[in-house]
Amino acid sequence: MKLSKESYDCVACGACCFGGHDKYIQLFAEDLDRGLPDRAVVTLEGKTYMKMEGGHCAQLIPLPGGGLACAVYSMRPTACRAFRAGSFECGRSRHHRMAQADAVRLPLADIVAVPPQFTPADIPDAANMPDRPQDRPQEGAVNSVPPSEGPFAA
């Protein structure tokens, strides 16, 4: 079997920055030494995490060209540095979270410039977006057939 030597560039979709809970990205000591601003982190139960707002990392910001970017990219934590564009995890994030990422991107027709007062907290709450993956059963998943229609239906 031949292994592919293709490499993938990040397309700035932002799907990797979405997580379902406040403990999505735990920080290590070396992450804290990188100088992350206080607004970017939160301490929960004695452990430090990247702050999440609306179902995504609070540091995720829209770009004028329609993509999404990290406001603290040069200081990003180990977990974010290890995430590779085109990897299995990237594909999984894009499959499960692309609708959410699409919903927070600014429409190209509406972009003139990002206002200087814009902050990451201005991104809409992903939990209120339609077509969230957890609301849709995966094709072939165990829960894709209602119990009333399954093999054990009464």
72's CB contacts (< 8 A; 6+ apart) are 36, 37, 40, 59
19's CB contacts (< 8 A; 6+ apart) are 25, 52, 55, 56, 57
Per-residue model confidence as pLDDT tens digits over 138-153:
444 444 445 555 444 5
Structure tokens belonging to residue 68:
């999404």
Neighbours of 106 (CB within 10 A): 17
Per-residue model confidence as pLDDT tens digits over 3-45:
555 556 777 777 888 887 788 889 999 999 999 999 999 999 9
Residue 113 pLDDT > 60, yes or no?
no
Domain locations in the chain as residue ranges: 15-135
Per-residue model confidence as pLDDT tens digits over 56-112:
888 988 877 777 888 898 899 998 888 888 888 888 887 777 777 776 664 544 444
d(CA 72, CA 31): 12
- Kind and range of the H or E run holding 68: strand 68-70
11 in Cβ contact with 68 (< 8 Å): no
- Kind and range of the H or E run holding 78: helix 78-82
Q: What is the pLDDT of residue 67?
A: 75
Determine the 3-state secondary structure of 41 from DSSP. Answer: strand
Per-residue model confidence as pLDDT tens digits over 114-125:
455 556 566 555
